[in-house]
């Protein structure tokens, strides 16, 4: 009987610890346990047989760290083959009568993935794929991915298993005391992602004793629609007279496990510190216990790498601002690959209360798959909201979904056969909640009935792909009411039917309704309220609109979704104000014209200079706006901003001012610059640029603190900085310098180990871009070092870089 | 005695029992001995940073105690290389403690988030994180020293890969011996740096009469170019 058939009607018992038992038998510190499959097969067989004898249904192969990062291919093959043979031998030798299965054990490879680590996602998939291919060929019954403490790494392993075999896959994560994975995911977030990708059983193992995992297990049981597994440690180890003792004994362990099995856990075993005795005790304690049926929890979930967003009665707000449609500045940012601008839009929406961010970077002239992938990745590096991947380009959609850390929302599919044929397989493979537009080959139907009929067709088709109704969310298409006075009615009626008769979730891009009307916000917000009343589960909307946020909080309060109106009371003040940001800070300045009191002031020529020297951002912005009324933008830069920066820069060099002050001034002058840039894009274009400067942390180095500071200060002094980021291959630096014909290049390296990469970059630059001057910096560099690798300049800090860059630009000008 | 087990110690969130030393934070920001000159705006920013990072730290140490033998005046360690500086540090020891400590990944997230739009804040977070992990190491070493005192032993200063002539490559040995990734979630990257970034690996010795001078000071260090050097 297949293990999945067996688990349908039975409690499944796993094995217990392996590593701890091998240490008792003499495994040395730092020795790789996988080698014992070949060097001590008798020990492995004996341990595994004792687990089968104790009643384990599933015994894992001794392959926790068997991957291509630790072993050469030939050895890897022989170790995995021996491991599977050992387990099979143990199964043959055991006289126990229960069903017996062998799982290929896969533990984390021990590298942290980007963006926090330096290991690429696809490389991780390849590492796991190798182990899966070898193991599956040896004839195991299932794959057991365990002890994963990072959601992204877990996704890579599961993807590798799914792409390289047809075996059942169990996935188990290691949670800390805070009930989260090391990289932050909650159990619910893992359930969402892993079920979306069709793991066959999911749960927790290692790190804690059974008692401490109570919260984690309960969360799994309330969210999971597949069997839940649990494999805790025997508590914590402590040292007693040179012996390692675990603080939970078999009896106590078994009693806790019996409670969990009663509550619904279906697959149970032990991890570090547990022995066959623990498994036998667990068996004994659950003798005759009926397995609790596994039910579909029917919860509609999406997730980020930390948490889930659940679609229920309270509407979900999906921020629509990351989208070039109708936005000149955003289009410009996309063309220039100005990722910072896009991230700024994301952060601002999160700040304003969005629950999910829609991500649309479609422009005809750009490489959408590449850019969508990059933007999603960069957003996930700093924002923990789930994303809605919004594209009509299926290649872009797949690339983004594959790399997404969590279970994404997908925008969109519709009733057209061809579109469903393209999109549903992606939803099936990577998981996701997909927005379904109620239109088809014949366009958007006028009546509610016809839209509902399309929804029904989409539900049937999705089912054929194995996609459940709970993973579909219907958009009944908000049309422009100024063009057709009955347009809103059809949208709302079909929405109501789909939500209440078909029992599906619904979503609308609400802003569309008001095109062509004055004061759009007002009617959009009214439509939003009506839609919520008709059962809207989610709105794609502008969180910057106060009217929308007011409607949202009011609706929740009026609809019994906000106990004691707490959320309304807490939040409404932020949105109930007039657009007052500029008005109020203007007032502050009037009352407080520069506050020149504190300490020994450097001599300053103006309030703006003082604001910048003191690092007062808001004040710098307001003063700049005021000055722009009567002064030329470039005069402000030359007469006020640059002198202010010089004051701070000199103070820094003389050590009368320190790095935090230098940065605060830089931030303040950026605020001033932003205002000047705005003013200048209004008028005929005139450049404030001092010249182009390409900057990068070299290949192999992922430390960019210093590089970012240098970039900021350079921008302050008016350089056009092309920041290539960290770990940048020499070729990319050369490519950009040539493409931009940049006269200046800055390279940073923190490690002695990465200085050779810096040298190589300089070598390539000399060949392809002989005009470029290269300035280097970073913790390990010295003047001698810089000279030896052929740099033009060694800069000890940001100010030194600026001085050099200005001096070179002056030379060029002459 | 040499034990095969790697032990894990976890400390409460908040300050983990290691009081915050703001002077250290300012020192990491570059105010060498000039912490009293920090202006009010920055002090306020630091208090903002501290409240934003409330609960963001998760203090963990994994460690292993091993016997130490000596051969020709050098300690016999399961490392790929020898180091004269480390030998001097461990002089007189008959056991060693190898440990890895981290304050978790959350601080890195906060830094990444602020890096682009609030670099001053990011800098203060960097400094705060560094102060926290050093505080954790000091606290852990104190605990072990107290235990050792009961056995009549004292401790040497701690010594990390990259100090003196102990090459950074020794990180690989620490990771192999301490199983850091599984035990407390530290990963080592290709250039031998750790994630979470606020992590430390180190070794120190235990012996009957070692460690007159507990802290590894600037005078012992060969990094004469170091911006933080005080002697």
Reported as a pLDDT band with limits 50, 70 and 90, residue A598 is very low
Sign of torsion over alpha carbons A712, A714, A716, A721 = negative
Sign of torsion over alpha carbons A797, A803, A807, A809 = positive
Q: What's the rounded Cα separation, in Å, for the pair A106 and A109?
A: 9
Q: What's the rounded Cα separation, in Å, for the pair A716 and A714?
A: 5
Q: Is A133 helix (H, G, I), strand (E, B) or coil?
A: helix
Q: What is the pLDDT of residue B117?
A: 83
Q: Which CATH number fits domain A3-285: 3.40.50.300, 3.20.20.330, 3.30.360.10, 3.40.640.10?
A: 3.20.20.330
A213-227, A458-472, A777-791, B89-103: segment of lowest average pLDDT: A777-791
Contact B68/B77 with Cβ under 8 angstroms?
yes
Residues A244-255, mean pLDDT to the nearest whole number:
94
Sign of torsion over alpha carbons A603, A634, A708, A814 = negative
Chain A residues whose beta carbon lies within 8 Å of the beta carbon of residue B191: 118, 700-702, 751, 753-754
Burial of B70 (C-beta count, 10 Å sphere; 0-12/13-18/19+): middle
Is the pLDDT assigned to residue A594 strictly greater than 50? no
- As a 3-state breakdown, chain B gives helix, strand, coil percent values, each rounded to 5, of 40, 20, 40
**Predicted confidence (pLDDT) per residue in A452-464, tens digit:** 999 999 999 999 9
Chain B residues whose beta carbon lies within 8 Å of the beta carbon of residue A112: 187, 189, 195
Q: What is the pLDDT of residue A448?
A: 95
Is the pLDDT assigned to residue A257 strictly greater than 60? yes
Q: What is the pLDDT of residue A588?
A: 38
DSSP string, B78-106: SSSS--HHHHHHHTT-SEEEEEEEE--SH
**Predicted confidence (pLDDT) per residue in A742-751, tens digit:** 999 999 988 7
Name the DSSP letter for residue A741.
T
Q: What is the pLDDT of residue A593?
A: 38
Chain B residues whose beta carbon lies within 8 Å of the beta carbon of residue A344: 116-117
Q: What is the pLDDT of residue A590?
A: 36
Residue whose structure tokens are 């594959």: A402
**Predicted confidence (pLDDT) per residue in A725-744, tens digit:** 888 999 999 999 999 999 99
Is the pLDDT assigned to residue A244 strictly greater than 90? no
* Nearest CA-CA partner of B18 in B120, B143, B181, B176: B143
Q: Where are the beta strands (DSSP E) in A608-701?
A: 691-697
Is the pLDDT assigned to residue A182 strictly greater than 70? yes
Domain boundaries, chain B: 7-220
Sign of torsion over alpha carbons A774, A779, A783, A788 = negative
Enclosing H/E stretch for A373: helix A368-382
Contact A160/A191 with Cβ under 8 angstroms?
no
Q: Is A455 helix (H, G, I), strand (E, B) or coil?
A: helix
Q: What's the rounded Cα separation, in Å, for the pair A104 and A132?
A: 8
| Residue A620, both tokens | 């710098």
Is the pLDDT assigned to residue A107 strictly greater than 70? yes
Tell me which residue in A183, A340, A666 faces B105 most closely, judged by beta carbons.
A183
Q: Is A447 helix (H, G, I), strand (E, B) or coil?
A: coil
Taking the CA of residue B54 and the nearest CA in chain A, the distance in Å comes to: 14
**Predicted confidence (pLDDT) per residue in A358-379, tens digit:** 999 999 889 999 999 999 999 9
What's the mean per-residue pLDDT of chain A?
92
**Predicted ipTM of the assembly:** 0.88
Chain A residues whose beta carbon lies within 8 Å of the beta carbon of residue B4: 23-24, 27-29, 244
Residues A433-452, mean pLDDT to the nearest whole number:
96
Contact A594/A564 with Cβ under 8 angstroms?
no
| Residue B135, both tokens | 């505080």
**CA distances from residue A61 to A129, A140, A593, B32 in whole angstroms, order as listed:** 17, 9, 73, 55
A583-682: CATH topology: 1.10.1240
Domain boundaries, chain A: 3-285, 300-545, 583-682, 691-813
Taking the CA of residue A1 and the nearest CA in chain B, the distance in Å comes to: 34
Q: What's the rounded Cα separation, in Å, for the pair B218 and B221?
A: 5
Angle, CA of A544, A361 and A694, to the nearest 5°? 100
| Residue A471, both tokens | 């993973």
Q: What's the rounded Cα separation, in Å, for the pair B92 and A264?
A: 57
- Of all residues in chain B, the one with the smallest CA distance to A749 is B191
For testing contact with chain B, the best of A17, A658, A668 (most B CBs within 10 A): A658
Tell me what percent of the residues of chain A surpass a pLDDT of 70: 96
- What's domain A691-813's architecture? 3-Layer(aba) Sandwich (3.40)
* Nearest CA-CA partner of B60 in A178, A214, A115, A239: A178
Is the pLDDT assigned to residue A133 strictly greater than 50? yes
Whether residue A108 and residue B182 make contact (CB cut-off 8 A), yes or no, is yes
Q: What's the rounded Cα separation, in Å, for the pair A275 and A295?
A: 32
Between A171 and B30, the higher pLDDT residue: A171
| Residue A358, both tokens | 């829609």
Taking the CA of residue B46 and the nearest CA in chain A, the distance in Å comes to: 11
Q: What's the rounded Cα separation, in Å, for the pair A43 and A449?
A: 69
**Predicted confidence (pLDDT) per residue in A632-650, tens digit:** 887 888 889 888 988 988 8
Pair type for strands B199-207 and B154-155: antiparallel
* Nearest CA-CA partner of B192 in B228, B160, B229: B160
**Predicted confidence (pLDDT) per residue in B130-172, tens digit:** 999 999 999 999 999 999 999 999 999 999 998 888 999 999 9
| Residue A584, both tokens | 């109020």
Q: What is the pLDDT of residue B140?
A: 97
Q: What's the rounded Cα separation, in Å, for the pair A257 and A259?
A: 5
Pair type for strands A316-322 and A243-246: unpaired
Residues A547-567, mean pLDDT to the nearest whole number:
96
The radius of gyration of chain A from alpha carbons, rounded to an integer in Å, stands at 31
Residues A463-487, mean pLDDT to the nearest whole number:
95
Residues A190-217, mean pLDDT to the nearest whole number:
97
A56-70, A107-121, B29-43: segment of lowest average pLDDT: B29-43
Whether residue A708 and residue B119 make contact (CB cut-off 8 A), yes or no, is yes
Q: What is the pLDDT of residue A583?
A: 36
**Spans in chain B with pLDDT lower than 50:** 1, 214
- Of all residues in chain A, the one with the smallest CA distance to B169 is A753
Residue A602 CB coordination number (10 Å): 16
**Predicted confidence (pLDDT) per residue in A670-689, tens digit:** 889 888 877 776 665 556 67
Chain A residues whose beta carbon lies within 8 Å of the beta carbon of residue B193: 702-703, 751
DSSP string, A589-618: HHHSS----SSSPPP-SSHHHHHHHHT-HH
Contact A47/A21 with Cβ under 8 angstroms?
yes
Taking the CA of residue A635 and the nearest CA in chain B, the distance in Å comes to: 26
Q: What is the pLDDT of residue A581?
A: 41
| Residue A721, both tokens | 């900085």
Is the pLDDT assigned to residue A102 strictly greater than 90? yes
Angle, CA of A292, A267 and A214, to the nearest 5°? 80
Under CATH, which number does the domain B7-220 receive? 3.40.109.40
* Nearest CA-CA partner of A472 in A429, A503, A442, A509: A503
Superfamily of chain region A300-545: Dihydropteroate synthase-like (3.20.20.20)
Whether residue A206 and residue B182 make contact (CB cut-off 8 A), yes or no, is yes
Q: How far is CA A782 from the centre of its chain?
A: 37
Q: What's the rounded Cα separation, in Å, for the pair B185 and B222?
A: 31
A691-813 matches A583-682 in CATH topology: no
- Of all residues in chain B, the one with the smallest CA distance to A64 is B182
Pair type for strands A356-359 and A243-246: unpaired
Q: Is A310 helix (H, G, I), strand (E, B) or coil?
A: strand
């Amino acid at each position: 009987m297949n293990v999945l058939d067996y688990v349908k009607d039975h409690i499944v018992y796993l094995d217990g610890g392996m590593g701890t038992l091998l240490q008792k038998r003499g495994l040395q510190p730092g020795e790789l346990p996988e080698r014992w499959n070949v060097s001590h097969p008798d020990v492995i067989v004996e341990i595994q047989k004792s687990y089968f004898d104790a009643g384990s249904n599933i015994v894992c192969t001794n392959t926790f760290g068997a991957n291509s990062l630790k072993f050469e291919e030939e050895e890897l093959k022989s170790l995995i083959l021996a491991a599977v043979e050992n387990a099979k031998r143990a199964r043959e030798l055991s006289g126990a009568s229960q069903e017996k299965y062998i799982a290929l054990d896969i533990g984390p490879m021990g590298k942290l993935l980007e963006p926090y680590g330096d290991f690429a996602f696809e490389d991780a998939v390849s590492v796991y794929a190798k182990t899966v291919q070898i193991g599956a060929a040896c004839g195991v019954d299932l794959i057991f991915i365990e002890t994963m403490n990072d959601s992204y790494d877990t996704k890579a392993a599961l993807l590798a298993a799914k792409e390289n075999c047809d075996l059942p896959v169990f996935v188990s994560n290691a949670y800390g005391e805070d009930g989260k994975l090391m990289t932050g995911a909650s159990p619910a977030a893992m359930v969402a992602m892993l079920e979306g990708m069709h793991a066959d059983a999911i749960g927790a193992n290692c790190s804690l004793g059974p008692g401490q995992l109570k919260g984690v297990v309960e969360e799994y049981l309330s969210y999971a629609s597949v069997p839940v597994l649990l494999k805790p440690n025997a508590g914590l180890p402590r040292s007693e007279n040179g012996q390692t003792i675990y603080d939970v004994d078999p009896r106590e362990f078994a009693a806790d496990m019996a409670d969990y099995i009663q509550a619904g856990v279906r697959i149970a075993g032990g991890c570090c510190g547990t022995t066959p005795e623990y498994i036998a005790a667990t068996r004994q304690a659950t003798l005759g216990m009926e397995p609790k049926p596994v039910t579909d929890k029917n919860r509609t979930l999406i997730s980020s790498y930390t948490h889930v967003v659940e679609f229920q009665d309270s509407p979900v707000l999906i921020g629509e601002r990351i989208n070039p449609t109708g936005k000149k500045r955003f289009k410009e940012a996309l063309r220039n690959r100005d990722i910072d601008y896009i991230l700024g839009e994301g952060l601002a929406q999160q700040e304003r209360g969005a629950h999910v961010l829609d991500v649309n970077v479609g422009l005809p002239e750009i490489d959408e798959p590449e850019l969508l992938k990059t933007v999603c990745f960069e957003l996930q590096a700093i924002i923990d909201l789930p994303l809605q991947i919004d594209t009509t380009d299926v290649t872009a959609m797949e690339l983004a979904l594959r790399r997404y850390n969590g279970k994404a929302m997908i925008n969109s599919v519709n009733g057209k056969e061809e579109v469903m044929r393209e999109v549903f397989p992606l939803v099936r493979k990577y998981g996701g909640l997909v927005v379904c537009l109620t239109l088809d080959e014949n366009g958007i139907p006028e009546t509610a009935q016809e839209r509902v009929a399309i929804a029904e067709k989409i539900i049937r088709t999705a089912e054929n792909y194995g996609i459940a109704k709970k993973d579909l969310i219907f958009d009944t298409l908000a049309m422009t009411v100024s063009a057709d006075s009955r347009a809103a009615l059809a949208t709302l009626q079909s929405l109501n039917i789909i939500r209440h008769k078909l029992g599906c979730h619904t979503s609308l891009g609400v802003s569309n309704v008001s095109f062509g009307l004055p004061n759009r916000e007002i009617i959009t917000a009214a439509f939003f309220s009506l839609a919520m009343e008709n059962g809207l589960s989610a709105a794609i909307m502008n969180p910057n609109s106060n009217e929308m946020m007011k409607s949202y909080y009011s609706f929740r309060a009026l609809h019994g979704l906000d106990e004691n109106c707490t959320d309304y009371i807490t939040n409404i003040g932020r949105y109930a104000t007039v657009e007052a940001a500029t008005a109020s800070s203007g007032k502050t300045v009037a009352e407080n014209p520069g506050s020149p009191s504190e300490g020994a002031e450097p001599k300053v020529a103006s309030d703006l200079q003082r604001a910048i020297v003191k690092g007062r951002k808001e004040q710098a912005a307001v003063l700049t706006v005021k000055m722009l009324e009567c002064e030329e933008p470039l005069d402000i830069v030359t007469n006020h901003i640059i002198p202010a920066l010089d004051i701070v820069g000199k103070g820094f060099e003389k050590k009368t001012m320190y790095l935090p002050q230098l940065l605060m001034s830089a931030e303040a002058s950026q605020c001033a610059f932003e205002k000047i840039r705005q003013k200048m894009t209004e008028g005929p274009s005139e450049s404030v640029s001092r010249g182009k400067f390409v900057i990068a942390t070299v290949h192999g180095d992922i430390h960019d603190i210093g590089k970012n500071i240098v970039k900021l200060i350079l921008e302050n002094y008016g350089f056009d900085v092309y920041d290539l980021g960290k770990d940048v291959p020499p070729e990319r630096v050369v490519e950009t310098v040539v493409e931009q014909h940049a006269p200046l290049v800055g390279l940073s390296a923190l490690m002695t180990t990465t200085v050779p990469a810096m040298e190589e970059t300089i070598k390539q630059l000399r060949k392809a871009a002989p005009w470029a001057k290269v300035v280097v910096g970073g913790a390990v560099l010295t003047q001698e070092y810089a000279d030896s690798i052929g740099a033009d300049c060694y800069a000890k800090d940001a100010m030194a870089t600026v001085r050099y860059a200005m001096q070179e630009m002056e030379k060029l000008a002459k | 005695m040499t034990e095969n087990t790697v032990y894990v110690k976890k400390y409460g969130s908040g300050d983990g029992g290691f009081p915050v030393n703001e002077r250290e934070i300012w020192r990491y920001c570059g105010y060498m001995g000039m912490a009293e000159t920090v202006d009010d705006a920055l002090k306020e920013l630091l208090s903002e940073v501290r409240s934003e990072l409330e609960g963001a730290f998760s203090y963990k140490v994994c460690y292993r105690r091993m016997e130490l033998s000596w051969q020709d005046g050098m300690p016999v360690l399961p490392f790929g290389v020898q180091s004269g500086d480390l030998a001097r540090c461990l002089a007189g020891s008959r056991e060693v403690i190898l440990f890895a400590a981290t304050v978790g990944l959350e601080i890195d997230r906060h830094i990444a988030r602020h890096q682009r739009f609030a670099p001053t804040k990011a800098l203060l977070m960097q400094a705060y994180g560094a102060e926290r992990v050093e505080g954790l190491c000091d606290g852990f070493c104190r605990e072990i020293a107290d235990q050792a005192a009961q056995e009549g032993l004292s401790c040497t200063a701690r010594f990390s890969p990259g100090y003196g002539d102990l090459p950074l490559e020794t990180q690989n040995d620490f990771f192999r011996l301490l199983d850091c990734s599984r035990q407390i979630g530290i990963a080592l990257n290709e250039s031998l740096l750790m994630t979470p970034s606020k992590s430390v690996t180190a070794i120190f010795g235990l012996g009957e009469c070692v460690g007159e001078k507990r802290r590894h000071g600037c005078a012992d260090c060969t990094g004469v170019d170091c911006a933080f050097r005080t002697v």
